Structure 1
Amino acid sequence: MKNSIKISRQELYEKVWSFPLTQLCKEYNLSDNGLRKICIKHDIPLPVSGHWSKVRFGKKVTKIKLPAKDETNIIIEIKPFEDKSSQSFKDSLSEFPDLILVIPDELNNPDKITKALKQDLSKKKPSSHGNRENVIAASYNLEVPDVVISKDNLSRALLIIDVLIKNFRILGFKVYCTLQGLIIENDEGEKKKISLTEKSTAKIVVQGNYNWERRLFFPNGKLMLRIGESYRMAEFTDTATEPIENKIRKILLRVLHNFEKEKQERFLSAIHHAGRKEEEEIRKIVRKLKEDEYQRFINFYNEAERWKKFMVLKEFYDYKKQVNPEDKNWLEWAKKKLDWYDPSKNVDDSLLDEVDKNTLELRKRNHWGN
């Protein structure tokens, strides 16, 4: 394959333990999952989650050894994701010689979906549909393609839909109908809706006993095919020089192009998301380090303040011991309190267990008495 990369198993092992996967994915133009699969296939261990965050902050990490292999000098071929957005897709169509690129004059062995659509539309008479007049529309409660046309364009619509369905099946898409209409789905589960409508021309119509003027829309004979929805939607319309029947190749190429483009967008989005996730983990670690450092300093400060106060008490205790040595009960009691208050000892005292040593205030109790 063009631009493929050959690397030894040992070299790839050193790479994945020297750089985050998100960085290597960009270097090799692979998805995170694609690079992981290559490593798993060749029994190359990967760093665990959070590994690179620890490395960044100088924390100790464990590097898993590369398992030994019987084969020596294993060469791995990495095949980068090919960017087809800038290429013509004509070559990809040449791989499918059975594609129908010319619309036949009549239905020939129609697909079951086309049969169901024909059965639904053939029995209908032109009527109003939304703001359009004199059209026939596929039944909303049946799983058939979404089609709204004039009766005169029924044969054209059936031929176009049938050829597209057959071509999409040849290209490997799943083709089926739901209550929303005709759906094509690729092997990654991405879906696109196909609909066919007839464009309309507005006319002012006078109706009723009071000659009310209404703006109504009537079919003008020009068909419009829509593939996909929202901003990803592609449209193909009859023009004066080229009807939809002559655009089958363009339609198929656009569908392949759009699916491929969306695949690349998902790939880039996955890399971006992985990078954002790693950044968020780093922010959490930094925030925790700051909080811990702040609390550590506060403890240091509080102990220093206690030590100053303890030294005052210790000096007073020594003075009392010198001037009043016979008061053994008090001296014994005071010695215990000094040991309790001494930052270097922190001896427990059951009678003072509710006192905060830093503030010498009673701790607040909750309503359960704890």
Structure 2
Amino acid sequence: MSEITVSREELYKMLWEMPMKQVIDHYDTSYHHLRKFCDEYKVPTPPSGYWKQVELGKELPVQPPLKPYNYEKGRLRTGFKRETELDRARLERVRKISSGFEKFKVPERLARPHPIVSVFFKGVYNSRHYNHENQKQYEPPFSPETHRALRILDTFLKALEAKGYSFEEDQNWWIYGQSGSHKIHFRFREQYRQVKITHPKRTSFATEIERKLYHLMRRESSVTLEPKGIVEFTSDRLSLWADKETKPLEEQLPQLLLNVLLDRDRAEHEAILAREREKERDERAAIREAERRRKAQDQASLDAFTSMATAWETKGKLQSFYFALRSLPDDGSTVIGERSIDEWKAWLEQKIAAMDPLRNGAEEVFRRLERVRNVD
């Protein structure tokens, strides 16, 4: 979506010359946004059934005039046809991607695990990545549920790498993936069941195992039990994906992968729109800057012309005063200071002549006006 500048007068003429549907198609907008523009900028529209009366040749109601308003132009939302075309292309891409996941399955055994998954098999990660309170070392051999979790992770990473993603992980087991300008990051984990006993006189317990642990320890403590084997994908863009009672995560992976790829499409589309909006802002800014420079140049030329007019007026006053001075009797040879009176008169004539902005003709005046326009 984008916005364009529309003149009230132009829109008013179009609304009374053709049906509103044609106006909507012309501006590539929607009925809602066109009606909103007309209401906001006080543009009268034909009443309901107006164009039907035109077809039947009936007498038409009086066309209301376009009354003056504070703004003669406004911003109208446009780009709906293009958005529809993009939606169709996106749906076609969804069908194409989904068809590629029809035979998507998590293998029973890992023959060549992904490098990130291999780190787990080497026993590098310990309990701090799972926030175990007893700091028990998390090392191989793994339970069947842990093997299942790693198979799912391995399949997920390889499937996205086939779509152009590259992955890396940090020390907190957050996995970062990137494909072009699109980035995702998520956490992959197994859920553990933790039981914490905090009150020594507690008499009621939620589970039988809590009762046994209490009688065994008789003190305040916290105990971490074995993993439940529930796999989760947690991401700021993908929300939470985990096993469900009716649908394990293996069956959800195709939809999860599809969501990642569609999110990449949306991000790329948003980036394209952002660049277009930035381009439009730059174009509007360039137009405003050009108008500002033009006004500044006009003002500079006018200021220069005003200065010349002031100089010409001052020159006329000085010349009149000088002529009055010359009419007085004097001895031209008398020396005053370092100059004689005749020399003083010659000096005044030179200075008065230099103040005349018209001494070099009209072309020099306009050249000076042009020079000041080209100065930033």
- TM-score of the aligned structures, taking structure 2 as reference length: 0.54
The alpha-carbon deviation at position 113 of structure 1 amounts to: 3.4
**In the alignment, which residue of structure 2 is the partner of 1:190?**
182
Contact 2:188 2:233 in 1 (8 A): yes
Deviation digits for residues 237-280 of structure 1 (CA, Å, limit 9, x no counterpart): 22222221111110121111111111111111111111111112
Match of 2:109 in 1: 106
Question: What secondary structure, in the 3-state scheme, does the structure 1 residue paired with 2:149 have?
Answer: helix
Name the amino acid aligned to 1:157: A
> Partner of 2:251 in structure 1?
246
Code of the aligned partner of 1:158: L
> How far apart, CA to CA, are the structure 2 residues paired with 1:309 and 1:102?
96
**1:168, 1:137 → 2: CA distance?**
31
Mapped to 1, the partners of 2:250 and 2:298 lie a distance apart of 72
Give the SS at the match of 1:225.
Answer: strand
For residues 202 and 259 of structure 1, what CA distance do their matches in structure 2 show?
37
1:359 aligned partner: none
Q: RMSD value over aligned CA atoms?
A: 4.1
User: What is the CA–CA distance in structure 2 between the aligned matches of 1:100 and 1:182, rounded to whole Å?
Assistant: 26
Q: Which amino acid aligns with 2:106?
A: I
Which protein is richer in helix relative to its size?
2
2:321 is aligned with 1:309? no
Cα–Cα, structure 1 residues 262 and 100, in superposed 2: closer, same or farther, change >3 Å?
A: same
Match of 1:176 in 2: 167
CA contact (8 A) 1:107 1:159 kept: yes
Q: 2-side partners of 1:136 and 1:343: how far apart?
A: 96
Of 133, 139, 155 in structure 1, the residue corresponding to residue 147 of structure 2 is 155
In the alignment, is the contact (CA less than 8 A) between 2:167 and 2:175 conserved in 1?
Answer: yes
Look up the equivalent residue of 2:166 and give its one-letter code.
V
User: Radius of gyration: which is bigger?
Assistant: 2
Measure the CA separation in 2 of the matches of 1:152 and 1:226: 22
Cα distance in 1 for partners of 2:183, 2:316 equals 77
The one-letter code sitting in structure 1 at the alignment partner of 2:233 is: L
Q: Structure 1: which amino acid aligns with 2:241?
A: F
- The equivalent of 1:116 in structure 2 is 119
Match of 1:70 in 2: none
Distance 1:201 1:158, change over 3 A: closer
Identity, % of aligned positions: 20
Cα drift, residue 128 of structure 1: 5.1
Deviation at 1:200, TM superposition (A): 6.2
Gaps in structure 2 of 5+ consecutive residues: 1-26, 29-83, 201-216, 333-340, 361-376
**1:167 and 2:159 correspond:** yes
Matching of residue 290 in structure 1 with residue 295 in structure 2: yes
> What CA deviation, in whole Å up to 9, does each residue of 1:158-191 have, x standing for no partner?
11011112222333x24332436534333x3433
Q: 2:233 aligns with which of 225, 235, 255?
A: 225
Q: Equivalent residue for 1:320?
A: 325
CA distance in 2, matches of 1:216, 1:324: 122
Q: 3-state SS of the aligned residue for 1:236? A: strand
Contact 1:129 1:137 survives alignment (8 Å) = no
Pair 129,177 (structure 1): closer, same or farther in 2 beyond 3 Å:
closer
Could you tell me whether the CA contact under 8 Å between 1:196 and 1:223 is conserved in 2?
Answer: yes
The 1:155/1:333 distance shift into structure 2, 3 A limit, reads: same
Please list, as runs of the form range in 1=range in 2, the aligned pairs for 1:54-133 lying within 5 A after superposition.
82-83=86-87, 84-87=89-92, 89-94=94-99, 96=100, 101-120=104-123, 124=126, 127=127, 129=129, 133=133
Task: Give deviations 1:34-57, integer Å, cap 9, x for gaps.
Answer: xxxxxxxxxxxxxxxxxxxxxxxx
Report the TM-score when normalising by structure 1: 0.55
Tell me if the contact between 1:118 and 1:158 (Cα under 8 Å) persists in the aligned partners: no
Does 1:256 find its partner at 2:261?
A: yes
Contact 2:193–2:226 (8 Å) recurs in 1 = yes
The size of the alignment, in residue pairs, is: 249
Is contact 1:133–1:217 with CA below 8 Å preserved after alignment?
no
Q: Does 1:330 align with 2:344?
A: yes
Q: Within the alignment, does 1:300 sit opposite 2:314 as a pair?
A: no
Where structure 1 has 5 or more consecutive residues not aligned to the other structure, the ranges are: 1-25, 28-79, 140-149, 347-370
Specify the alignment match of 1:363 in structure 2: none
Q: Secondary structure at the match of 1:242?
A: coil
Does the CA contact (< 8 Å) of 1:132 and 1:216 recur in 2? Answer: yes
Preserved contact between residue 169 and residue 175 of structure 1 (Cα < 8 Å): yes
Give the equivalent residue in structure 2 for 1:49.
none
Alpha-carbon deviation of 1:292?
A: 2.2
Counterpart CA distance in 2 for 1:341 and 1:217 is: 101
Compared CA separation, residues 131 and 162, structure 1 to 2 (3 A):
closer
Deviation at 1:195, TM superposition (A): 2.5
Please report how far the alpha carbon of residue 297 of structure 1 lies from its aligned counterpart in structure 2 after TM superposition: 2.4
